[in-house]
Chains A and B, each alone.
Chain A
Amino acid sequence: MGHRTVDLAVGRNPEMGLDGLPARSPIAPFDIPEPELETEHMLINIGPQHPATHGVLRLVCELDGETVIKVVPHIGYLHSSFEKLGEYRTWNQIVTLTDRMDYLAPLIYNCAYAMSVEKLMGIEVTERCKVVRVICMELDRIFGHLLWLGTTAIDVGAFTPFLYAFQERERIYQLHESLTGARITTSATRIGGMMADLPEGWVDELRDFLRTFPKTLDEIHRLLTGNQIHIGRTQGIGAISGEDAVNYGFTGPNLRASGVDYDVRKDRPYYDYETYDFEVPIGIHGDCYDRYLCRMEEMTQSVRLLHQAIDRLPGGPINVDDPNISLPSKTDAMSDMESMIHHFKLITEGIPAPEGDCYLAVEGSKGELGMYVVAEEGGTKPVRWRIRPPSFVNLSVIAKLAEGHLVSDLIMINASLDIVLGEIDR
């Protein structure tokens, strides 16, 4: 594994010192002793319709003055039972359900689902498909982190980074659109390959994006990383130790901000991630600020990964050459009897799976995204399709993180967890 800690002090305000201690708060604390007042706890309700909850999340808080004593999250407002719906669909039909969960990074979900089913069936996808999927996943990691960046900055009152981030997101939307025909509901993967190969000129568009995106990222760094208001609002807020973070099920940037070196791409590599040259940022304090820095650095690393993936993009077919898995071309299906039969069987029956189960984890933008599929012998539909939702588990920690902080910090903590309710409620 080796040492792979990235220096997170880059861009920090020199006043802070690099000893790892949180900077001074810009506002000096009052020395006046607080008068002994008898107060009673108050219940307040945040959400489910509130912009700072980043979706339909309801938080019931018990407050002592402005201090949070207890938070009880209520979820389920977006529940559509995708897992149940999946049991009534063939393997390929489920792909459209996956991107509706994490609509902030849909391609990662498409790829993770296809990978788990392929692993269950023992299908080895082509080299080109592997690299294309790596491109898709890294592109959507940037896509997901940019939304988090913009909305989180708004929560602490910084409006400009939101505009910068969404301008870049719009460019990724356009890449989505030319790749899949849709901006959010991409449904790009199929079992054994992709819906379509990369369109002509797409790689050049992506290169163009990669050329200018780091400049925008630098500008956002300059707006936020050393910003005293941002530092005051995030440093020391919602801190969690590495041991607790593992026990509470944190994954992804949230876990790594607490100093735990766990990244699915490094520790359980898939799609030759071990051959790419990239680093995984590890935080120290586990607070909101370190989570911010980890995600910022991850975007830089994703750009590196994308450059390498484009450079090694091999030619050749994108779908596996097996008529029982991949659809024949439309021309073949209309002119060749055998292809037509395969087409008919694939559409009406689907792909038979062997008996067994398969849990496949990928590093999603929010954390470890697991897809668990269970099949019976020859089943063309799953007996059970389960998503291990990273933000669901991450959100469950909010009660612990927010305890003892102010209500305004609760908003920041909630934002720093990077949740998406479509995936939490499923």
Chain B
Amino acid sequence: MADDTKSALDAVDAGPVPSEPTDGATAAPTTGDPSRHPSVAALIERFGDAVQGHRLNAGDQWVVWIDPSRSLEIVSWLKEDPDHAYDMMSDVTAVDYGGGRPVEVVYQMFSTKHKRALRIRCRLPLDALEIDSVCGLWQAANWLEREVYDLFGVTFRGHPDLRRILMPDDYQEGHPLRKDFPLRGRFSRAEQTRQALNQNVEHYYLAEDLERGGTPQEAAEATVGSLRAGKRKDGER
């Protein structure tokens, strides 16, 4: 039991462990006739090699795999070009297949002008979980990308406010939706309790907050005072 706790803690210290990359990662499939979806055909024609694959899923849903290093260029073209005009970013999410396979970031796009949907996927190897943020193009991506960052550990370059969103800000155990994250968390229940009890209260409150009494007015003034003095890093606490 003690060994279990130790190994779990070590895993946290080391951060998300990239499993060994699979030898010769499987290429994205190229099935289906791309001329049936105008955007897929146009993407292949315009971006060539940056389009790694395409596939027709579930009857009528087109998926296109693109090169993550050129993702921003490609999706902004999809948004701006009047023939495609994907003005609605329905969803940004990620898929971890486990076993060292790359994490895939998935964009669900919809064009309210042409009433067409398209799914874009980007394969990110586990040792380079980084992709450009599309927040500047679609404000809707703001929280969605924060969620992917929180639950998968994918960093979005150029995101204005990349913080954890669903898990606590000081969550230590990693990124829950990754396959190497156990269902019950990395820490045993006993360890979680121990950590909670040993938490440094002064991380949240200044010593003077804890000693403070008096009227609410005095308390509020003191809070503003300490904010001014720059004693707190995070003004919201």
Would you call A249 and B57 a contact (CB within 8 A)? Answer: no
CB-nearest residue of chain A to B96: A384
Chain A interface extent, by class:
35 or more
Closest Cβ of chain A to B209, distance in Å, is 14
Q: Knowing A75-B166, A85-B183, A268-B117 touch, does A396 contact B142 (C-beta < 8 A)?
A: yes
When A76-B167, A247-B87, A358-B58 are in contact, do A393 and B143 touch as well, CB less than 8 Å?
A: yes
Total CB contacts across the A-B interface at under 8 A: 119
Cβ of A76: which chain B residues have Cβ within 8 Å of it? 164-168
Within the complex, the shortest CB–CB distance from A162 to chain B, in Å, comes to 30
- Are B91 and A359 in touch, CB under 8 angstroms? yes
Say yes or no for A140: interface residue by CB 8 A criterion: no
Given contacts A75-B166, A370-B91, contact A84 B183 (CB under 8 A): yes
Q: Decide if B58 touches A75 in the complex (CB within 8 Å).
A: no
Q: Choose among A84, A262, A359 the residue that contacts B108 (Cβ–Cβ < 8 A).
A: A359
**Residues of chain B within 8 A of A40, CB atoms compared:** 224
B61 contacts A358, C-beta separation under 8 Å: yes
Residues of A within 8 A of B189 (CB): none
Smallest CB separation, A40 vs chain B (Å): 7
Residues in chain A near residue B176, CB distance under 8 A: 81, 84
- Which residues 374-413 of A have a CB within 8 angstroms of B? 374, 376, 383-384, 386, 388, 392-393, 395-397, 400
Q: Is B12 an interface residue, CB under 8 A from the partner?
A: no
Q: Does A88 contact B (CB under 8 A)?
A: yes
| Known pairs A388-B90, A388-B108; A249 contacts B139 (CB<8 A) | yes
Which residues of A252-273 are within 8 A (CB) of B? 260, 262, 267-268
Complex formed: what's the CA distance from A372 to B97 in Å?
A: 15
**How big is chain B's contact interface, by range?**
35 or more
Q: Which residues of A contact B235 (CB under 8 A)?
A: 43
The smallest beta-carbon distance between A367 and chain B, in angstroms, is 10
Query: Which of B87, B106, B166 has the most chain A CB within a 10 Å cutoff?
Result: B166
Do the beta carbons of B138 and A262 come within 8 Å of each other? no
Residue A168 interfacial (CB < 8 Å)? no
Contact of B165 among A75, A251, A400 (CB under 8 A): A75
Write the B139-183 contact mask toward A (1 if CB under 8 angstroms, else 0): 111111001000100000000000011111000000011000101
Looking at the complex, which one of A72, A248, A260 makes contact with B236 (CB distance below 8 Å)?
Answer: A72
Contact A84 B61 (CB under 8 A): no
Contact of B236 with A60 in the complex, beta carbons under 8 Å: yes
Pairs across A and B, CB under 8 Å, 10 listed: A81-B176, A120-B57, A251-B90, A267-B115, A357-B57, A357-B95, A357-B119, A388-B108, A393-B144, A400-B139
